[in-house]
Amino acid sequence: MTQDELKLEVAKAAIEYVVPDTIIGVGTGSTANFFIDELAKIKGTIKGTVASSEATAERLKGHGIPVFDLNSVDEMSVYIDGADEADPGLCLVKGGGGALTREKIVLAVADKFVCIADDSKKVDVLGKFPLPIEVIPMARSYVAREVVKRFGGEPVLRDGFTTDNGNVILDVHGLEIVDPVSMENELNSIVGVVTNGLFAARNADVFLCGTKDGVETITAK
């Protein structure tokens, strides 16, 4: 099975978690795109969606799926999104597509987080994938120095990339992430950091993991 076939399988499986007559939070990335295409087939059963990026909003609207401004939404049954890494406790690294901040905001409103990914994203310890940090542009050098001072690693500016919020991304290579919750909180306390790609303080509730033997449903250990 190709990676795209695995992504399609988890996207289909995620449809089971779509609650009729509610608003659904939708993530960003290639796996989320497969989910959007599946959601289009049952669009009449939901009230609508909130998108975690401009790209996702565009794809949803292209299918004729209603997209609400988060400020007009106070209840969301589920948030469905991909990940770059998932550990056994379902703490995640996200932000490979640069949408981490809006993803975290949309997730904050949702009752449940269903992560969808192929099994290449399953890891024992987070940190092989460079950790994205969204940073206010004028603070990038300061934040990079602080990250190295506090955690080590090598922050690299994502060249030519601006987030939907007008900010830059530092991808931190070579981090040893032993305590994802405390690292997430401490990184967020550095002035100039908008947010970082650790989804640990609020982790996934369910991980639908695409394997060659089918979709494995994993809940946090």
Ligand X SMILES: O=C(CO)[C@H](O)[C@H](O)COP(=O)(O)O
* Residue with smaller CB distance to ligand X, 120 or 141: 120
* Residue with smaller CB distance to ligand X, 81 or 146: 81
| Rounded distance between C-alpha atoms, residue 149 and residue 59, angstroms | 41
156-161 long-range contacts (CB < 8 A, ≥24 apart) are 156/130, 158/98, 158/132, 161/98
> Does residue 25 interact with ligand X by CB under 6 A?
no
**Nearby residues of 64 by Cβ (< 8 Å), 6 or more positions away:** 40, 43
Is 84 annotated in a binding site? The answer is: yes
Is 31 annotated in a binding site? The answer is: yes
| Rounded distance between C-alpha atoms, residue 175 and residue 191, angstroms | 20
> Does residue 81 interact with ligand X by CB under 6 A?
yes
> Does residue 134 interact with ligand X by CB under 6 A?
no
Output the smallest distance, CB 81 to ligand X, in A.
5
* Ramachandran quadrant class, 159 (left: phi over 0; alpha: psi -120 to 50; beta: rest): beta
Instruction: Answer yes or no: 9 catalytic.
Output: no
Where in 28-67 is the site for ligand X (CB under 6 A)?
28-31
Site for ligand X (CB under 6 A): which residue of 49, 79, 96, 146?
A: 96
Of the candidates 103, 134, 146, 184, the residue annotated as catalytic is 103
Site for ligand X (CB under 6 A): which residue of 98, 130, 153, 155?
A: 98
Site for ligand X (CB under 6 A): which residue of 51, 60, 80, 83?
A: 83
| Rounded distance between C-alpha atoms, residue 11 and residue 36, angstroms | 8
Site for ligand X (CB under 6 A): which residue of 11, 79, 91, 94?
A: 94
Q: What is the DSSP string of 44-112?
A: GGSSEEEESSHHHHHHHHHTT--B--GGG---EEEEEE--SEE-TT--EE--TTS-HHHHHHHHHHEEE
Is 98 annotated in a binding site? The answer is: no
Known catalytic residues? Answer: 103
| Chain positions contacting ligand X, by CB under 6 A | 27-31, 81-84, 94-100, 103
Binding residues for substrate: 28-31, 81-84, 94-97, 121
